[in-house]
Amino acid sequence: MNVHVIGQTELRLTRFDQEDFEIILENKMQRLSALAMFVTSLGRCTFAVLDHYALRMDVEIENIVTKLTWEFAHGPTRFDVINMDIYWPELPEKRVKSVARAAHKCTIHTTIHDCVNININVFNHAESND
């Protein structure tokens, strides 16, 4: 899996089908922080659910891209909102809503859903660069 660190509160996960774990820094001054690792774990856990779902539907997973952004609350500092956009070009239109429901079933999501708002959007097209 590749982890593209885009900013302090944004990353993209790609190449879930790879066994290797590669960190790609968009800016050499960045690091994969503990908080970014936590969000990466949420994205990877969600992918595990999607991978299982894909096996049942016989849909390819190689081109899935997950974009994650997050916001903090203060007093004490903690995650307030995590936004996850899942781009799955091979996903049939009729499966978009069911995949969105399934994405909410990963173990990390169900563990933290009472204290962190997690918004998930599923798209059956490639991520646009605009």
Position 129 in a domain: no
List, for residues 9-53, the tens digit of each pLDDT value. 999 999 998 889 999 998 878 888 999 999 999 999 999 999 999
| Cα-to-chain-centroid distance, residue 82 | 10
**Domain at 25, CATH number:** 3.30.300.20
Averaged pLDDT, 60-69: 95
Closest residue by Cα to residue 33 from 66, 7, 72: 7
Q: How many domains does the chain have?
A: 1
Note the pLDDT tens digit of each residue in 103-116.
999 999 999 988 99
- The alpha carbon of 111 is separated from its chain's Cα centroid by a whole number of angstroms, namely 16
Residues of the domain holding 69: 2-123
| Radius of gyration of the chain, Cα coordinates, nearest whole angstrom | 14
In a domain, 69, yes or no: yes
- Rounded to whole angstroms, the Cα distance separating 106 from 46 reads 5
Residue 130 lies in a domain: no
Q: With a threshold of 0.95, does the pTM exceed it?
A: no
**128 within some domain:** no
